[in-house]
């Protein structure tokens, strides 16, 4: 497939703990390729410096309808290989072929009542893309998106990777103009208010993404016990030559 345009950049991970305010705690580089048929490939390399360290590589392919088709995830935790997996999403079934240092060789299959709306792989750029699940035509409010799948139920994505089912409650706060290190952007402000199915409740999570239809993550903050922040520090866009 021909790449019609691409978006690439970096996201800084920082701490908001009072004793570490603004301290670097990780980073993520990403690239989004938008293909001629409208499908997308979203790739990211992320690093969390806080112990136990996490290094994650993900590559997600979605169709023109933005539904996930396949994904690859590999993670290292504490400097040691933790696991890798390939996920495939058909209209009625999700499958996973994985090998992890804890569970060994794994094959999973989950029946789907309807095509999967989204897949969470714990890359921050993918969290921004998940915001496209909200129907903006309905205006500000809260919408529940049922039957999502994750590569890990851990808040840092440091287990598995393997299939894990959740729902997602998204609140649209409104439109804003914000400034981040990468520039000034028209933004959409969302809040993940509940993620039913996780073994531990996720702390309050606010996210801002571009309002141009690409849902590029601009910034995010997680309060509660995590006390972390994320910010787009560089972003480049390229168009295919005609």
- For 63-96, how does the pLDDT look when each residue is reduced to its tens digit (9 = 90+)? 999 999 999 999 999 999 999 999 999 999 999 9
> Whose CA is closest to 29, among 16, 18, 42, 44?
44
Q: Find tokens 């290989």 and name the residue.
A: 81
Give the three-state DSSP class for 96.
strand
A 10 A CB-CB count for 36 gives 12
Q: CA 119 to CA 149: how far, in whole Å?
A: 5
What are the tens digits of pLDDT across the range 26-51? 999 999 999 999 999 999 999 999 99
Q: In Å, how far are 147, 166, 234 from 112, measured between CA atoms?
A: 8, 13, 38
* Angle, vertex CA 199, rays to CA 193 and CA 204, nearest 5: 25
Asked whether residue 198 carries a pLDDT value surpassing 80, the answer given is no
pTM of the model: 0.92
pLDDT digits (tens, 9 = 90+) for 121-159: 999 999 999 999 999 999 999 999 888 999 998 888 999
What residues contact residue 187 under an 8 Å CB cut-off, 6+ apart?
A: 175, 176, 177, 178, 208, 209, 210, 211, 218
CA dist., res. 86 & res. 122, Å (int): 15
Give which of 4, 71, 8 is closest to 39, Cα–Cα: 4
How many C-beta atoms surround the C-beta of residue 200 within 10 A? 10
H-helix or E-strand spanning residue 154: none
The DSSP bridge partners found for residue 109 are: 95
For residue 162, pLDDT over 90 is answered with: yes
According to DSSP, residue 201 is labeled P
Using CA atoms, how far apart are residues 214 and 19, in angstroms rounded to an integer?
Answer: 35
First to last CA, the chain: 15
């Amino acid at each position: 497939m021909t790449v019609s345009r691409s978006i690439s950049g970096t996201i800084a991970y920082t701490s908001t703990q009072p004793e570490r305010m603004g301290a670097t705690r990780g980073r993520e580089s990403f690239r989004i390729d938008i293909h001629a048929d409208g499908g997308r490939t979203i790739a990211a390399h992320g690093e969390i410096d806080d112990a136990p360290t996490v290094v994650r590589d993900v590559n997600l392919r979605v169709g023109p309808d933005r539904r996930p088709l396949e994904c690859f995830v590999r993670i290292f935790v504490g400097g040691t290989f933790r696991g890798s997996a390939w996920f495939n999403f058909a209209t009625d079934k999700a499958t996973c072929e994985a090998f992890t240092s804890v569970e060994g060789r794994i094959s999973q299959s989950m029946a789907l009542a309807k095509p999967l709306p989204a897949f969470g792989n714990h890359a921050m750029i993918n969290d921004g893309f998940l915001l496209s699940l909200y129907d903006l035509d309905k205006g500000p409010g809260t919408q529940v998106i049922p039957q999502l799948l994750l590569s890990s139920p851990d808040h840092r994505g440091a287990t598995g990777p393997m299939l894990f089912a959740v729902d997602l409650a998204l609140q649209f706060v409104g439109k804003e103009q914000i400034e981040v290190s990468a520039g000034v952007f028209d933004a959409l402000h969302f809040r993940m208010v509940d993620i039913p199915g996780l073994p531990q409740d996720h702390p309050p999570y606010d996210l801002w993404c571009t309002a141009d239809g690409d849902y590029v993550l601009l910034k995010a903050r997680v309060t509660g016990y995590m006390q972390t922040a994320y910010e787009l520090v560089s972003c480049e866009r390229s168009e295919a030559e005609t």
